[in-house]
Chain A
Amino acid sequence: DAGITQSPRYKITETGRQVTLMCHQTWSHSYMFWYRQDLGHGLRLIYYSAAADITDKGEVPDGYVVSRSKTENFPLTLESATRSQTSVYFCASRVAGSETQYFGPGTRLLVL
């Protein structure tokens, strides 16, 4: 199926563990984004990427690492998970020159 996918859809981990959330898009969009969504905060940008090997911080980057070796993939890593990182994580993409973002289905992460 074409589009943007995220894996896993649900994840339970423990404090201090490393966790990687995957995002894959089949459109070859230049831009990709990671957001977290918490009650009362709406969506907050964590990191974004304008192209392969180009990434930049968003509003709430602390505790997260990203990479983008291929255009279609944009993994998000929590190097040492904390309870405050319990959230729903959304990946999004858009083509350069367009203002429309396309969101994935989200990953629900619970850090115990």
Chain B
Amino acid sequence: LAKTTQPVSMDSYEGQEVNITCSHNNIATNDYITWYQQFPSQGPRFIIQGYKTKVTNEVASLFIPADRKSSTLSLPRVSLSDTAVYYCLVGALSGSARQLTFGSGTQLTVLP
């Protein structure tokens, strides 16, 4: 299983760019990297997913170096509503779900 490690918490201010890094040294060839966002009392919500290099969508960017042993979620110009827990998920979802691994999550707090 590809174990993931994330910072427990991060603070930022409104308007700043936030980068959250996830380490996954044992990532397998077929594994994808997926990030989810979770607000209190809600289920996680998909943010972005990638396999290598850089992926960008309307809410975030995901940077994956060539060795794929880590990944960085980048949130541009955060607002107070971005305060949430962010999870890094590594696994080959198209295969056995037993290969899924959720990180412990990073509590991002955006301050005014």
Binding site for B on A (CB under 8 A): 31, 33, 35, 40-45, 48, 50, 56-59, 90, 92, 94, 96-106
Contact of B104 with A41 in the complex, beta carbons under 8 Å: yes
Tell me, in angstroms, the Cα distance from A13 to B19 when the chains sit together.
Answer: 42
Query: What distance in Å separates the Cβ of A46 from its nearest Cβ neighbour in chain B?
Result: 11
From A96, which residue of chain B is reached at the shortest CB distance?
A: B94
Known: A43-B87, A45-B98, A101-B93. A90 touches B104 (CB 8 A): no
A101 touches B104 (CB 8 A): no
A-B contact list, 29 entries, CB within 8 Å: A41-B104, A42-B87, A42-B102, A42-B103, A42-B105, A45-B97, A45-B98, A45-B102, A48-B97, A56-B97, A56-B98, A58-B97, A58-B98, A90-B44, A94-B93, A98-B93, A99-B34, A100-B34, A100-B49, A101-B36, A101-B44, A101-B46, A101-B93, A103-B45, A105-B41, A105-B42, A105-B43, A106-B42, A106-B43
Residue among B34, B44, B94, B105 with max Cβ neighbours from chain A (10 Å): B44
Most buried by A among B43, B94, B105: B43
Contact code string B16-54 (vs A, CB < 8 Å = 1, else 0): 000000000000000010101000011111100100000
Interface of A is mostly: strand
Task: Decide: A43 near B42, CB < 8 A? Known: A56-B96, A58-B97, A94-B93.
Answer: no
- Given A44-B102, A57-B98, A59-B98, 14 further pairs, Cβ under 8 A: A31-B97, A33-B97, A35-B102, A43-B87, A45-B100, A45-B102, A56-B98, A94-B93, A99-B49, A99-B94, A101-B44, A102-B46, A103-B43, A103-B45
